[in-house]
Structure 1
Amino acid sequence: MPAFVTSDLSPASQSTARKNILQLVQLRWIAVVGQILTIAVVELGLGVALPLAPMGVVLAALVALNLATLLRLRTHAEVSNTGLFLALAFDAAALTAQLYFSGGATNPFAFLYLLQVTLSAVLLEVWSAWAMVLITTACFAGLALFNQPIALPGEDAGSLFRLHVQGMLICFVLDAALLVVFVNRIGRNLRERDARLADLRQRAAEEDHIVRMGLLASGAAHELGTPLATLDVILSDWRRMPRLASDPELAPEIEEMQAEVRRCKAIVTDILRSAGEARGEQPVITTVNAFLDDIVQDRRSARQGVNLVFQNGFGPDLPIVSDTGLKQVICNVIDNAVDASPRWVGFAARREDENLVLEIADRGTGFPPEMLANLGKPYQSSKGREGGGLGLFLVVNVLRKLGGRVGARNLSEGGALVTLTLPLASLAIEETRANGR
């Protein structure tokens, strides 16, 4: 697939196109230096008179094209197939002009046209690559008919032939070396572009998966709202019934059942709020330490009996806006650790530069190697449940949306450690307001 197709390239393709055109700029600088050295050797070493003025004008035009290209790239202008085609055509015209003033088709450096054709085949669309073939062929044919021959003083035919062969050897080595260096670099740029495009496609597929999960969760929350409300009303009626309220065994159980139903209703409300369906709610301004304390209190309340050890090393507090989605994914990681290690879970927070770093450790069996290799992919679970493995998938995607990252590893003493790194700027009050949150 060509690196330059239209002017409406994706960001990944535009980045690759800019890298490739910079390679052409470097190649043009090499051509300018090489032509200057060649002219000097022929003029001074061999004593051959060359038309230095017009050849100097061609060199100046090449330098001007390079400077204009670099200036255009600094303005972040888009790179198109047409623009690159014109640049390569200009290079071919400059080579033709230099050959015209130095023997035409008899000049061994005429084979540098092959370099232009090869680069066109790699970088351009099919039609423009064939157009370059026609242009270079026409230029070579024209040089066979029209040129300014050069006369080598005091040289016989044998010496001229040997000199021509030596020039062809130099041209071959130069052509081959430049092709290997620059085609490899351009190929590397194209491979990097393909890797970035594949990553973008993967992210798009994951985000689509998350959207579908969100729709299902929102629908389920709506469906569960009515029966949960009904259960809450029935349990309230039971608690007011004298026969049940006076029973020392049933009364506490009814109260516990009602508390669990209300907890389920709170979870449903959180799901709807995360889906953007709660109305009239303002962002909650809090601080980093209060945000972390709230998470710890919530998990200790929900997972009673677990020794959740919290170490807060964040330092001086900072005001932030509480992010419900972030809170949920952190709780999700803690819950996963509790499932793997019901007796002890470690939760540590610290600040590294402008990042909030959270570490959740457990004393379970650790992650299987294949799960570490595919961290953040859906349906990668160590619990063996069908349809499981979505927890870390959601964690990775939420952190990535906020500009953070997720890491996981097994500990040498047993258990696992999950590290969440989050830029504080993504939770800053100014950043949040600017994004309309």
Structure 2
Amino acid sequence: MANHRENLLQLSYIRSVTLFGQCLAVIFAIYGLHADLNVWKISSTLGTLAFLNLITYARLFSPWPVTEPEFFTQLIAEMSLYGALLFHMGGATNPFIFLLLVPLIIASATLSKRYVWLIAVMIVAIYSSLLFYYEPILKLSNSHQHRIMELFDIHIVGMWINFLLTVLVITYFIVRMRQSMQQQQDKLEQEREKHIHDQQLLSLATMAAGTAHELGTPLSTMQVLLKELEHEHQHTPDLLEDLQLLYQQTEVCATRLKQMTQSVKEEHSTTQWLPATELIEATLEQLMVQRPDVSQTYTVMGLGEPPYLSCTTSLKQSLLNLINNAADANPKDLQIELDWDQQQTYFRIHDWGPGISLEQSDNLGKPFITTKGKGLGIGLFLTATTLARYDGDVRLYNHPEGGTLTEVTLPIRQKND
């Protein structure tokens, strides 16, 4: 679909340039060639064109969309006023007669076939009528004869200037129109990628919901059987200890499934705002409970009061996923930094693992792509998706000193945003 609002804006720019050029041409014809022109009629035509341009500017500030028939009407009005102006300035003998081609070329690039043919027929009719009906610029008389060669030279120069201006105007408009079309194409491509991304996310969410529902039954069965085995092996301390450990693990899994369901419900109803430092500290505390083998150094680099972030379960889980990924590469001596400026909050994780290859860096963030020998390859995909909901971003780099640098960027917002 053509962006007729942008096309109409460019047409108003061209109209302004044409007005300026025609005013200069009229001044030159009157004072340079001493032409006998009807100044009032020419001025009224130029004034009408200027008034049309002002109305067009005012219309572009309105919220209503610019339709194809409206843009066609604008071109018809433009072409008619050009014809009226040329009628008072020599008709087809005026070197600026080719100005009539500008609306046709614009229509050919922006409008459908039927509108282009209508404009083409009207331009031919206007040009043909100007061959016979016009007011001459210079009226020859017996007492005042102009030299034929001098008039011919002036006409040739005028044709050259007209050709140059037409080329400049048409080139400018076509380039801007092509840029507009390219922007629309890029937007459509982004929408297509977003649609594919949403479909992948929906598929993952559906599988996760189904898996969580199906895991409830086997976990309950395992807990019942483990309780029975504990009762039967009361007098076997070593086996009893293992059974109790297994029962605790199944209890953790069942609790985690319940928490996941509950957190999703709560996230849609409540939003808690916390300083970025508290959010990171809470995430690191959760990491230490889950993975006590990880050693890390946490540094706050930002100056002044820390910005507030929307503290949701999904955001904390996303940050935790990134730290876990870094710990999987190398759990020793993770370097974690928190920084911020006036617009952004930065969260960086530097691990001392093997780094990432060029092929892996091109595919990171896509579903089912993993840099580890194990895993499903959906952690980073879900993390990137969650951060995108907060207008954030995550990027992974090979650190110059070795290992991988993971950087999360989140915009700073007010609490009521």
Fold in common (TM above 0.5)? yes
Task: Give the CA deviation at 1:318.
Answer: 6.4
Partner of 1:171: 162
| Aligned residues of 1:329 and 1:394 also touching (Cα < 8 A) | yes
What is aligned with 2:18? Answer: 31
CA deviation map 1:156-182 (0-9, x unaligned): 333333332222222111111222222
The answer for the alignment partner of 1:158 in structure 2 is 149
In 1, the alpha carbon distance for the partners of 2:271 and 2:292 equals: 27
1:387-421: CA deviations, max 9, x gaps? 94332222222212212222222110111112112
**Aligned: 1:356 with 2:348:** no
Residue 282 (structure 1) shift: 5.7
Larger radius of gyration: 2
> Within 5 Å, which residues of 2 pair with 1:183-222?
183-222=174-213
- CA–CA separation in structure 1 for the residues paired with 2:210 and 2:33: 86
Q: Aligned with 1:364: secondary structure?
A: coil
- Is 2:38 aligned against 1:47? no
Residue 402 of structure 1 pairs with residue 390 of structure 2: yes
Structure 2 Cα separation of the partners of residues 271 and 307 of structure 1: 27
* 1:40 Cα deviation after fit: 0.6
The Cα shift of 1:47 comes to: 0.4
Whether the aligned pair in 1 keeps the contact of 2:309 and 2:413 (CA below 8 Å) is no
Q: 2:331 aligns with which of 342, 363, 368?
A: 342
- SS of the residue 2:413 aligns to: helix
CA distance in 2, matches of 1:105, 1:142: 9
Tell me the equivalent position of 1:99. Answer: 86
User: Deviations for 1:108-163, whole angstroms, at most 9, x for unmatched residues?
Assistant: 21112222211111122232222222222222122223222222553233333333
CA, structure 1 residues 348+262, in 2 after alignment: closer, same or farther (shift >3 Å)? farther
Amino acid at match of 1:367: I
- Structure 2 residue 248 is the aligned partner of structure 1 residue 248: no
Mapped to 2, the partners of 1:254 and 1:46 lie a distance apart of 109
2:397 counterpart letter in structure 1: R
TM superposition shift of 1:424: 3.9
Partner of 2:133: 146
Tell whether the 8 Å contact from 1:348 to 1:358 is kept in structure 2 after alignment: yes
| Pairing 1:296-375 to 2, within 5 Å after superposition | 296-313=284-301, 316=305, 322-375=311-364
For residues 268-307 of structure 1, the aligned pairs below 5 Å read 268-273=257-262, 276=264, 278=265, 283=270, 285=272, 287-288=274-275, 289-307=277-295
Amino acid at match of 1:59: L
Cα separation, 2, equivalents of 1:88 and 1:307:
71
Task: List per-residue Cα deviations over 1:250-278 (Å, max 9, x = no partner).
Answer: 2332232122212222332344346x5x5
How far apart are residue 308 of structure 1 and its match?
Answer: 3.1
Q: d(CA) in 2 for partners of 1:117 and 1:407?
A: 49
Equivalent residue for 2:379? Answer: 391
Cα deviation 1:291-328 (Å, max 9, x = unaligned): 32221122222223111333345664666653111122
Residue identity opposite 1:203 in structure 2: K
State yes or no: 1:413 paired with 2:413: no
Show the counterpart of 1:226.
Answer: 217
CA gap of 1:392–1:59, structure 2 versus 1, over 3 A, is farther
- Unaligned runs of 5+ residues in structure 1 are 5-16, 432-437
The DSSP-based 3-state class of the residue aligned with 1:347 is strand
Assess if the C-alpha contact under 8 Å between 1:300 and 1:308 holds in 2.
no
CA contact (8 A) 1:285 1:319 kept: no
The code of the aligned residue for 1:422 comes to L
SS for the counterpart of 1:140 is helix
Q: Distance in 2 between matches of 1:226 and 1:326?
A: 29
Asked whether the 8 Å contact 2:368–2:377 carries over to 1, the reply is: yes
Task: Assess if the C-alpha contact under 8 Å between 1:283 and 1:321 holds in 2.
Answer: no
CA contact (8 A) 2:364 2:370 kept: no
Which AA in structure 2 matches 1:160?
L
More deviation in 38-47 or 199-208?
199-208
1:425 alignment partner, SS class: coil
* Partner SS state of residue 356, structure 1: strand
CA deviations on 1:203-258 (whole Å, 9 max, x unpaired) are 1210121112111111111111121122223334444x1x5344332233223212
Name the TM-score, length of structure 1 as normaliser: 0.86
Residues 394, 181 of structure 1: alpha-carbon distance in 2 compared, 3 angstrom cutoff:
same
> Counterparts of 2:25 and 2:351 in 1: how far apart (Å)?
70
Residue 24 of structure 1 aligns with an amino acid whose one-letter code is: L
Assess, with a 3 A threshold, how the Cα gap between structure 1 residues 282 and 203 changes in structure 2: closer, same or farther. Answer: closer
- Where does 1:4-19 land on structure 2 (aligned, <5 Å)? 4=3, 17-19=4-6
Please name the residue that 2:96 is paired with: 109
Distance in 2 (CA, whole Å) between partners of 1:375 and 1:33 is 55
Counterpart Cα distance in 2 of 1:318 and 1:209: 33
Q: Secondary structure at the match of 1:249?
A: helix
Q: 1:96 to 1:384 in 2, by over 3 A?
A: farther
- The answer to which of 296-305 and 227-236 deviates more is 227-236
Equivalent residue letter for 1:293: E
TM-score between the two structures when normalised by the length of structure 2? 0.89
The answer to whether the 8 A contact 2:393-2:409 is kept is: yes
Going from structure 1 to structure 2, the CA distance change for 1:230 and 1:356 (only over 3 Å counts) comes to: farther
Instruction: Return the letter of the residue paired with 2:392.
Output: G
Q: Which secondary structure does the structure 2 equivalent of 1:304 belong to?
A: coil
Deviation at 1:70, TM superposition (A): 2.1
Partners of 2:400 and 2:222 in 1: CA distance: 48
CA offset at residue 105 of structure 1? 1.7
Cα distance in 1 for partners of 2:10, 2:96 equals 21
* SS of residue in 1 equivalent to 2:409: strand
CA distance in structure 2 between the partners assigned to 1:408 and 1:198 by the alignment: 24
Cα shift at 1:287: 2.3
What is the count of residue pairs matched by the alignment?
411
